[in-house]
């Protein structure tokens, strides 16, 4: 087993909704360190310069001034990927990945034009403030430039499976990667990875009973979920895919390896465990199913909130908390009860681990209370050749809480497949 700990400062955001004009910038000697490399601090300045250049080529640099507000950086996360040198021309792409009432998030990527190498990626969270520094709603003109408010997801395809119709988001071309969400979520938990992994064909279904998929009254089992996913691959003409499973999605990935091993090219097991539920966990599943029936799915989401998200996420990333709540609100009561029953009755996958013969990446948040790092490490040790990545400052939802670090781990894994 190979082991890697990936730091991941907090990130806020959702889906790509608007692209600003692309800008080419030259690296100057004064921006470089004593070794002739583009200085890390200069990268932030370069990204800021690109944002202003984008405004200059669009609505004008005075957009905020003329509307009486100012953009203030709340958080900045930078992933430094490769060195740049004086004279390099960097093409900076800026997309707005989330727009709320008073805030928005920009994702920026700097690529060297001569070879296409990614030099750095950034996620910048802005808050709109007035002259007194108080957060205020985005003025209409600013909102129009930033694009529509973030929606749940790209328009999905509808694919009929046994007894249900699944909403399936399909993006791009290349090697297929199947993203399987956890409980009580939907495909949008993978929103950042779906946007970032542009070199691959990304397939993200809502499981039966979740998100925009239909919710039959019964028939929820781990085996049924796995068969549903094979039906999705068949409908899309995909023979084999890399399977990325989060939590419940990991249980389903194990079932795919048992029932349909020939359809799995490689596997990413994120925030999951191989063991079945103990008796106390089964009782908790039953209690949550009753709570959903009595008070609705949001009540279950609130019950689980502090257990599923890292403590820092709860305090510092209100947008992530709201995205979590939106997903639980979208889940149907039959779908939630069915998923709880499916997890309650899932088989023991521990005996399967030593038999896994496909490349495997295990990802876990450093603060995951449901599937702690020790469980993930033991699981990776038991899988031949598996690699373990621990995502710092993430709980059970690393793909949403720390998207840059999680996307980088998955991308590195995918790039290493031969």
Kindly name the residue from 33, 62, 130, 348 that is annotated as catalytic: 33
CA angle, 390 then 392 then 393, to 5°: 140
In this structure, the number of other CB atoms found within 10 A of the CB of residue 299 comes to 14
Q: Is 206 annotated in the active site?
A: no
> Radius of gyration of the chain from Cα atoms?
22
Among residues 381, 389, 320, 268, the alpha carbon closest in space to that of 105 is found at: 320
Crossing angle for the helix pair 222-236 and 248-259, nearest 10 degrees? Answer: 70
Contact between residue 370 and residue 247 where contact means Cβ atoms under 8 Å apart: yes
In this structure, the number of other CB atoms found within 10 A of the CB of residue 238 comes to 18
Give the separation between CA 203 and CA 193, rounded to whole angstroms.
11
Q: What is the bridge-based pairing of β-strands 18-26 and 70-80?
A: unpaired
Give the separation between CA 18 and CA 247, rounded to whole angstroms.
31
Among residues 153, 371, 145, the alpha carbon closest in space to that of 254 is found at: 371
Give the separation between CA 53 and CA 74, rounded to whole angstroms.
21
Residues in the chain: 418
CA angle, 10 then 190 then 220, to 5°: 130
CA 317 to chain centre: 14
> Strand, helix or coil at 367?
coil
- Phi, psi dihedrals of residue 115, rounded to the nearest 5°: -135, 0
With tokens 């549903």, the residue in question is 228
Residues 6+ apart with CB under 8 A from 263: 230, 233, 239, 240, 241, 256
Among residues 375, 396, 416, 408, the alpha carbon closest in space to that of 270 is found at: 396
- Phi, psi dihedrals of residue 74, rounded to the nearest 5°: -95, -40
- Torsion 127-14-89-43 (CA) sign: positive
Catalytic residue ranges: 33
């Amino acid at each position: 087993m190979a082991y890697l700990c990936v730091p991941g400062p907090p990130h806020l955001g959702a889906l790509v909704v608007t692209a600003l004009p692309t800008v080419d910038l030259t690296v100057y000697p004064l921006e470089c360190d004593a070794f002739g490399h583009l200085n890390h601090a200069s990268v932030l300045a370069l990204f800021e310069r690109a944002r202003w250049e984008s405004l200059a080529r669009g609505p004008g640099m005075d957009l905020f001034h003329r509307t009486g507000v100012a953009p203030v950086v709340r958080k900045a996360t930078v992933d430094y990927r490769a060195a740049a040198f004086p004279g390099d021309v960097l093409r900076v792409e800026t997309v707005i990945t989330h727009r709320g009432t008073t805030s928005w998030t920009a994702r920026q990527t700097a690529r060297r034009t001569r070879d296409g190498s990614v030099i750095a990626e950034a996620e910048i969270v802005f808050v709109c403030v007035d002259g007194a520094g108080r957060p205020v709603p985005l003025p209409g003109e600013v909102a129009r430039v930033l694009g529509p408010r973030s929606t749940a997801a790209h328009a999905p395809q509808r694919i009929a499976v046994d007894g249900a119709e699944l909403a399936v988001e399909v993006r791009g071309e290349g090697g297929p990667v199947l993203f399987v969400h956890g409980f009580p979520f939907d495909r949008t938990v993978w929103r950042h990875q779906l946007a970032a992994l542009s070199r691959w064909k990304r397939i993200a279904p809502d499981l039966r009973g979740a998100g925009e998929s239909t919710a039959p009254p019964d028939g929820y089992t781990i085996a049924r979920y796995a068969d549903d996913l094979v039906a999705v691959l068949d409908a899309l003409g995909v023979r084999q895919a890399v399977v990325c499973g989060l939590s419940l999605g990991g249980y389903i990935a194990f079932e795919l390896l048992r029932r349909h091993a020939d359809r799995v090219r490689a596997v990413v097991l994120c925030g999951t465990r191989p063991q079945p539920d103990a008796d106390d966990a089964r009782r908790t599943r039953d209690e949550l199913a009753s709570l959903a029936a009595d008070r609705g799915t949001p009540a279950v989401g609130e019950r689980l909130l502090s257990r599923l998200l890292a403590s820092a996420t709860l305090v510092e990333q209100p947008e992530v908390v709201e995205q979590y709540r939106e997903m639980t609100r979208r889940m149907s009561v039959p779908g939630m009860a069915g998923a709880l029953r499916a997890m309650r009755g899932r088989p023991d996958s521990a005996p399967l681990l030593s038999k896994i013969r496909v490349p495997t990446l295990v990802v876990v948040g450093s603060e995951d209370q449901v599937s702690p790092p020790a469980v993930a490490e033991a699981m990776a040790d038991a899988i031949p050749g598996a690699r373990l990545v621990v995502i710092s400052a993430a709980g059970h939802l690393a793909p949403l809480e720390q998207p840059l670090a999680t996307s980088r781990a998955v991308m590195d894994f995918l790039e290493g497949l031969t």
